[in-house]
Amino acid sequence: MNVVTHACAPVVIALAVDAVRIYSGRNRLFPKEYLIAIGLAGILPDLLDPPLFSRPRYSSWTHTLWFVLAIYPVLVAICRKWFRQKWLLLANFLWLATAAHIAMDTISRGTRPLYPYGPVIDYRLIRKDVRNWICFDLAFIIATVVLSIWTKWLERRRFNSRSGAL
C-alpha cells in the first residue's frame, strides 16, 4: 500500500463512525484535529523508517509487532498531553491506525512482524500492479471526501432541525 491509502483508510473509518453517530442523533467523536492525527498515525511506520525499496521493509523496525506494542504508551502520553478530551479514545484509535498500516502492508507486499526472528509474511492478497495502487488511492480519497461532505451535511441538517423546533 502507499502513503495515501495508509493515511486515508483509518480516516474513512473514523468518518464512518461519525456519520453513523450523527445520523442516530449523537455528537461526532472525531473533530478535524483528531482526523489529522489519525491520518498521521496511519502513516507513522513509514514516516519513522521510510521504505525506499521493498527489501528494507522486511527488516524495518517500524513494521514489526514490537513497534506496535512499543508505540502504544507513546501514543497514550501524547494524547494525554495534547488531546485532553477523549484522550483514551483517540490513543486507541491512533494505535489501531498504526496497526492497520502494518496489516495492510502484510496483505499487499509482506512484512516480517517478528523481525529479526520470524519469516516474512506475505499474503499477496493485493497484487503489486500499479493500477491497483492507483485504484486504492482514488477509492480512499473519494471515500474520505464523500464521508466528510456527508457528515457536514448531517450535522447541518441536525442543527437546522433543532433550531427550527425552537
Domain for residue 22, yes or no?
yes
Q: Which of 7-11, 62-66, 68-72, 124-128 has the lowest mean pLDDT?
A: 124-128
Domain for residue 166, yes or no?
no
* Total domains present in the chain: 1
pTM: 0.85
- Beta bridge partners of residue 121, listed in sequence order: 111
CA distance 69 to 99: 9
CA distance 87 to 76: 7
pLDDT tens for 102-113 read 888 888 777 777
Question: Does the structure show a pLDDT above 50 at 166?
Answer: no
Domain for residue 72, yes or no?
yes
pLDDT tens for 45-74 read 989 888 776 556 667 888 889 999 999 999
CA distance 27 to 155: 9
What sections of 83-129 are H helices per DSSP? 87-108
Q: Which residues contact 73 (CB under 8 A, 6 or more apart)?
A: none
Buried b (16+ CB within 10 A) or exposed e, 114-127: ebeeeeeeeeeebe
Domain for residue 165, yes or no?
no
pLDDT tens for 32-44 read 999 999 999 999 9
Residue 77's domain spans which residues? Answer: 3-160
Give residue 110's pLDDT.
Answer: 75
